[in-house]
Amino acid sequence: MEIVCVTGAGGYVASWVVKELLAKGYFVHGTVRNPADEKKNGHLKKLKHAEEKLHLFKADMLDYASLCTAMDGCTGVVHIATPVPAGKVADPQAEMLEPAITGTRNVMNACLKTKVKKVVVVSSVLAIVANPSWPKNQVTDENRWSDVEFCMKNDKWYSAAKAISEREALEFGKKNNLKVVTVCPSVVFGPMLQSTICTTNIILLNLFKGENSLNLIEFDNAQDDIYIPIVDVRDCANALLLAYEKPEADGRYLCSSHVLKMKALVELLKSLFPHYIYPTDFPALDEKLNYTCEKMVNLGWNYMSLEKTLVDSVETFQKNGLLS
């Protein structure tokens, strides 16, 4: 069976990708900063088939040589690793923008050197939506790109980094005859395989504590009753595998299964888990949001109910002692 390299293998989405690849019989090369760090990577070693089919490599996205070592012998790569700060950083251009872009360039060049046949690059819905000139009545799909200049002027550094990296990766593929597919997941909720909590699940967890912390992610008016696009981490992993396995997969894919307003999300959580204190103040916004993931669905993708995502998320929060 072929070998697939997963960058940032210990992360939230990447862990599920590793799990699914192993379950399907693939050998996996996972890049991590420190393979001996049990807190960050121990959960990977416990996955079914990990002992015989998972090899963790010490690699850094800014270290081209280490990436070449990890990708040696691989048929494909799923590039997920990216800097995601939990809050404000002192120098966003140096700490977010430049590492993300340089890291993706290193990955693409390493793929070329090691003769990888296909690369799936994980981008973000934030590489799509930060574009104020997109017509308000037009459905948001893969043709919409975040306006990089607008992002940098408005401190949306993560959005800018994702948009630049994704576009560069697609162009690199075309220039070098390398098959590159990009997937843009929305806000990812769902059960965690690791014990450390990620940025998106912090948002969900904080809602149970009466806090609206959507401002951790670069959406406009994040304290208001805005629309939030959500995808389950398991559905996201399946989307990435479809993008990798399907020969017809091409270009860019938006990956989001549910869109609802923050107030509606809180009401749903209340109905499922009535014993928590929830935020109550969501100033109304007269805005509409219409996404289509038809392209991803046409690839054979389907997704679970939002209720299941939320119930399973809470189960892992409780298991890891994150909810009293």
Question: Which residues are catalytic, by number?
Answer: 162
Mention every residue, 6+ apart, whose C-beta is less than 8 A from residue 27.
1, 2, 3, 4, 53, 54, 55
- Strands 251-255 and 3-7 turn out to be unpaired
- Residue 197's alpha-carbon distances to 141, 200, 258, 259, in angstroms, are 30, 8, 22, 23
Q: What is the DSSP letter of 231?
A: E
What's the CA gap between 190 and 204, in Å, rounded? 9
Alpha helices in the chain (DSSP H): 12-23, 38-45, 50-53, 64-71, 92, 98-113, 126-129, 148-153, 157-176, 199-207, 233-245, 262-272, 294-297, 306-319
